[in-house]
Chain A
Amino acid sequence: MTDTAALMPRQRDKHPVPYWPDYKTSVTRSPSLPLLSMESTVSEETGPRFGHSLIGELDNNLILNYTQGTAPAVGERIRVHGRVLDETGRAVPNTLVEIWQANAGGRYRHVKDTYFAPLDPNFGGCGRTLTDETGYYEFMTIRPGAYPWPNRANDWRPMHIHFSIFGHAFGQRLISQMYFEGDPLIDRCPIAATIRDRGQLERLVAPLDMQGSRPLDYLAYKFDIVLRGRRQTMFENKPEGM
């Protein structure tokens, strides 16, 4: 039997609170009893792995992937890039990163989205990639529009890109959102406000990265992601899967 290294416990106070009345849907969807906490087991320390054969050439290019490269999506062209690390600072290589987002007008390609902004016939709204050996990933996309949503009388989501990251262990699984530097809607958003630790919220705000941009082509935003780390110890089992 392979022994795997235990995951560092999740710091729940660094995450959003599950129950947040200003985000109305959370009221009936947040557990009211405490979670059962214990050390991770092999069931959480292992996880699905995906190979490079999964990824198509345009999968990480949301400007082109919906039309297979035949017609670009409307919007401000941006590159979103960064690294996936774990809490010990190690790169997480070859891990799947998936994103989804609204189009430039703030509309999703989804039957439930009935916002007035038009669909873009050339924009699907999802992409995926694997990090390289150094944990680095990048996407080309368009800047998503802010959009209103039914919650309190006049709530708007700031511009955001949804991120889904696997890591190498099922217990590292994470879904989050990337916001954009300077967006005044972040501080008015009840979903962003579920993260009570200001420093933690700021980690979801990607800075404009002029050095990563390309003149006369696209702006860049840098978004690094940190997943749970594994306990490093000489005394019980050797670290594995790094």
Chain B
Amino acid sequence: MVQALDLLTETPSQTAGPYVHIGCIPSFAGVEGIYPQDLGLSPIAEGAKGEVITITGSVFDGTGWAMRDAMLESWQADAAGLYPGQAGADPAVSGFCRFAADKESGEFTLRTVKPGAVTGRGGVRMAPHISLWIVARGVNIGLNTRIYFEDEENDGDPLLARIEQRPRVETLIASKTGEGAYRFDIRLQGEGETVFLDL
């Protein structure tokens, strides 16, 4: 025998189920009065520096149906590419947002500031991006992906560069639909399947 490694193993995930909204955004589920307001209503406060943008999209299942029950969380840097907690980060950017697909249309909207390019380990430049985490009924472990922007310099981004099938890079890039407006659809399975991340 050898010495034990003394490491624990991560608790396994389980699906968030159909009622995730009760726990995470209760007023969206009609459960009012427990908390003053839902957590993570906006990633920015008044006075946040940078360009305010709106990202709209849907989460499609393998049949092409825009899911009505998906819940998403986003995490991002401020306009200068700094994450909350880092020295010099914009105090008006919490960086975190929780939002859900609309019950009728299946469409979500994220209003935020456009993040700046982030300097990663070893000084590597990561193109401006927003990290996303998606949970829903039938999703057994939350799905991670990133939103990049078509009007930014994405060449050389270390994550995008790792995608071997170049057409799949497009699944991570929000398309510009107007001034300060972007579209980002997520496809869980099949044609145009979004690149999901394990990092």
Chain A interface residues (CB < 8 Å from chain B): 1-3, 6-7, 9-12, 14-18, 20, 23-33, 35-44, 46-50, 54, 56, 59, 65-66, 68, 85-89, 96, 98-100, 108-113, 124-128, 162, 164, 170-171, 173-177, 191-192, 194-195, 197, 200-201, 203-204, 225-229, 236-237
* B30 lies within 8 A of A59 (CB): no
Question: Which residue of B16, B120, B194 contacts A41 across the interface (Cβ within 8 Å)?
Answer: B120
**Known interface pairs A1-B86, A25-B138. Does A40 touch B199 (Cβ–Cβ under 8 Å)?**
yes
Q: Which residues of A contact B33 (CB under 8 A)?
A: 66, 68, 124
Determine if B26 is an interface residue (Cβ-Cβ < 8 Å): yes
Residue-wise, chain B 161-193 has the 8 Å CB interface mask toward A (1 for contact) of: 011000000000000000000000000111001
Determine if B159 is an interface residue (Cβ-Cβ < 8 Å): yes
Chain B interface residues (CB < 8 Å from chain A): 6-24, 26, 29-31, 33-36, 39-40, 61-63, 65, 67, 73, 75, 77, 83-87, 94-96, 118-121, 123, 126, 129, 131, 133, 135-144, 146, 158-159, 162-163, 188-190, 193-199
**Complex CA–CA separation, A150 to B35 (angstroms):** 31
The DSSP consensus for interface residues of chain B is loop
Question: Which residue of B39, B95, B119, B162 contacts A1 across the interface (Cβ within 8 Å)?
Answer: B119
* B14 lies within 8 A of A194 (CB): yes
**Complex CA–CA separation, A130 to B85 (angstroms):** 18
Question: Which residue of B13, B62, B73, B126 contacts A15 across the interface (Cβ within 8 Å)?
Answer: B13
> Taking CB as reference atom, which chain A residue is nearest B146?
A43
Q: How many interface contacts (CB-CB < 8 Å) are there between A and B?
A: 274
New contact pairs (9) apart from A35-B198, A38-B199, A126-B22, CB-CB < 8 Å: A16-B141, A26-B138, A38-B198, A56-B35, A87-B8, A110-B18, A124-B33, A174-B13, A192-B14
**Complex CA–CA separation, A23 to B139 (angstroms):** 10
* A46 lies within 8 A of B140 (CB): no
> Taking CB as reference atom, which chain B residue is nearest A55?
B35
> Shortest Cβ distance from A38 into chain B, in angstroms?
5
Q: Which residues of A contact B14 (CB under 8 A)?
A: 16, 162, 175-177, 191-192, 194-195, 204
Q: Which residues of B contact A23 (CB under 8 A)?
A: 15, 138, 140
**Complex CA–CA separation, A227 to B158 (angstroms):** 26
Q: Which residues of A contact B189 (CB under 8 A)?
A: 28-32
> Shortest Cβ distance from A73 into chain B, in angstroms?
12
Q: Which residues of A contact B190 (CB under 8 A)?
A: 32
Q: Which residues of B contact A88 (CB under 8 A)?
A: 7-8
Q: Which residues of A contact B131 (CB under 8 A)?
A: 43-44, 170
Q: Which residues of B contact A1 (CB under 8 A)?
A: 86, 119, 123
Q: Which residues of A contact B140 (CB under 8 A)?
A: 15-18, 20, 23, 26, 30, 191, 194
* A162 lies within 8 A of B23 (CB): yes
> Taking CB as reference atom, which chain A residue is nearest B141?
A15
* B31 lies within 8 A of A36 (CB): no
Q: Which residues of B contact A113 (CB under 8 A)?
A: 19
Question: Which residue of A30, A42, A68 contacts B188 across the interface (Cβ within 8 Å)?
Answer: A30
**Known interface pairs A35-B197, A42-B83. Does A89 touch B6 (Cβ–Cβ under 8 Å)?**
yes
**Complex CA–CA separation, A113 to B86 (angstroms):** 43
* B188 lies within 8 A of A2 (CB): no
> Taking CB as reference atom, which chain B residue is nearest A175?
B16
Task: Indicate the member of A32, A43, A68 with the most B CB atoms within 10 Å.
Answer: A43
* B26 lies within 8 A of A43 (CB): no
> Taking CB as reference atom, which chain A residue is nearest B87?
A2
Question: Which residue of B9, B12, B96 contacts A201 across the interface (Cβ within 8 Å)?
Answer: B12
**Complex CA–CA separation, A190 to B110 (angstroms):** 34
Q: Which residues of B contact A127 (CB under 8 A)?
A: 34
* A29 lies within 8 A of B188 (CB): yes
Question: Which residue of B6, B8, B20, B133 contacts A162 across the interface (Cβ within 8 Å)?
Answer: B20
